[in-house]
Structure 1
Amino acid sequence: MRLKLVPDGTKIDFMRVSRIGVIASITAVIASIALFFAMGLNFGIDFRGGTMIEARTPQAADLGIIRQATGELGLGDVAVQEFGDPRDVLIRVETQPGDGDDQMAVVGLVQEAVSAAIPDTEFRRVEVVGPKVSGELVVEGALAIGLAVFAVLVYIWLRFEWQFSLGAVIALVHDVALTIGVFSLVQLEFNLSIIAALLTIVGYSLNDTVVVFDRVRENLRRYKQMPLIDLLNLSINETLSRTLMTSLTTLIALIALYVFGGEVIRGFTFAMIWGIVVGTYSSVFIAAATLLRLGVKRDWSTEDKPGAGPSGTNFSGAQV
């Protein structure tokens, strides 16, 4: 028996509530911008610069002892957290004055202090990022996201019409803004892996939007006299099964990674889960709603097919 998330022939009137969705999204984007300026992002060492030391203790780590041992070194902001196995500890130290040799000297001090407090501690990984490099990473990360959105604008414009392109880009900006907003709210660490997640979200959201837009373009040729609002509803309903199945299967894998993948990739998987949800939402309530308000070209060269007409007529479009 084939699993069906959506029954055949659904006629959900998405566009009827699109105004509510657009208002809610505008409010959420404004709130995200306010959160970003009010609370900022919890930048990781990739962007702030500093030293990260991954250690494994012989038994379940006593974070209090490690915090006390590293706090006595006078190194400023030192964060100690458990991740993954109870024996695994991540120690983050803010950038110290001096050059790379001074940063490596800090590593030695931390390792000595932790080893003295908890003998037989194993140091498994050390990362040192200078302030100059971290500043360049911030700029390059923002540039990468901007170039990705611009490339989407050009691609959709060439493949469809400018109205489609604008709808897709507005949906992408919406998704990225809400993701940054939620990271400001929950204060999860924002590092290079989150930039990778944002770029992945851009690709996923674009793919979802293009599937809907492709069906809209097909139906514009098939039903030249059908009102645009009915045609958009028809196209979304025809692709709804594919959209939900793709999102659900992706979310199952991501939730498993979030629960069992450990602290190192938790921020990445959280961003991806959030991005899949808002990306699926924006394909319908942002991209399609923008298309409805901008209108589209209707002078297609193919002929009308029987059954074309306004709401309430027989929609005989292609099925997914």
Structure 2
Amino acid sequence: MNIARVVCAGVLLLAGSAAAQQGGEAIQKTTIKLGTATPGGGFPLYGNNFAEIMNAADPTLLIEPRNTKGSNENIPLLEKGELDIGLVAGEPSYEAFMGIGRPRTNVKILTAIYSNPGMFVVRADSPYKTIRDLVGKPIAFGAKGSGLPILSRYMLDGLGLKQDEDFKAIYLDHAGDGPAMVLDGRVAALWGAGIGWPGFGAVAASPGGARFIAPDADEIAYIRAKHAFLKPLTVPAGSYPGQNSPINSVGSWSFVLARASLPDDVAYRLARTLHGAETALCAKLAQACETTAANTVAAAPSLDLIHPGVLRYLREIGVVK
């Protein structure tokens, strides 16, 4: 009986503390599990900022980012309901939506997050200036399980090159390991994608500087002739230290995907909160300026792949008719 009184008092104490923290009113939070990728990569950077801005914008949300192995792990975790939402690169998303090499997925798009123009970074003092110069060399193609090696595989295939045969392909345990490997010469180049990608930033900000290698105009045409889902994309000048000119390449859009069973009203709230906080997210992270409702509609392979709760919101604001 005494134990029961102690437990009851403890519960009341906790409840009172929660109420006090919310100005006397307890707020019931909806917890959302967000899968990102390995530390040091672009997805954890984006995911942590996404969660911070969303949680601040809607006190009833508690988005909890967690590191995973990346895109290739996030999709099955979403399918099993072990994640509510997850960051997934464009190529793994495309393969899952189309059923390439696996059954078609039932996960849905919550939002497009940013475009991913793919390219290599080398030290500025290296002799490598074209993709062909890198043939036969050790190349860090990104973290195991991430979407980056899939993008490079498609791009190189469009040029008649095989990633694991024509290069000494290295796949990282952690995305953050790549820059040091370029700088100390263990690899000739690091493959990556996007604007504001941490690996590129680290190499470009090193004392010796960096040079970026991307397909030229003819190579882009060859790639797109074979893989039309890859889009022409541009890295604007000044995106990285010492990058004085725009860089043209190919790539796709990364997404926040949601488990198919995520309730419509929760997906609606997430979309409403996100796009209401676009300005704050953009101010927090440059690449997040591409996270807009209009870009989600443009990047989705078809509207029926967008979560129904999100579509409801997009119709309300007139982005979808």
TM over 0.5, yes or no?
A: no
* TM-score of the pair, normalised by structure 1: 0.21
Who wins on radius of gyration, i.e. which is larger?
1
The structure with the greater share of residues assigned to strand is 2
Greater helix proportion:
1
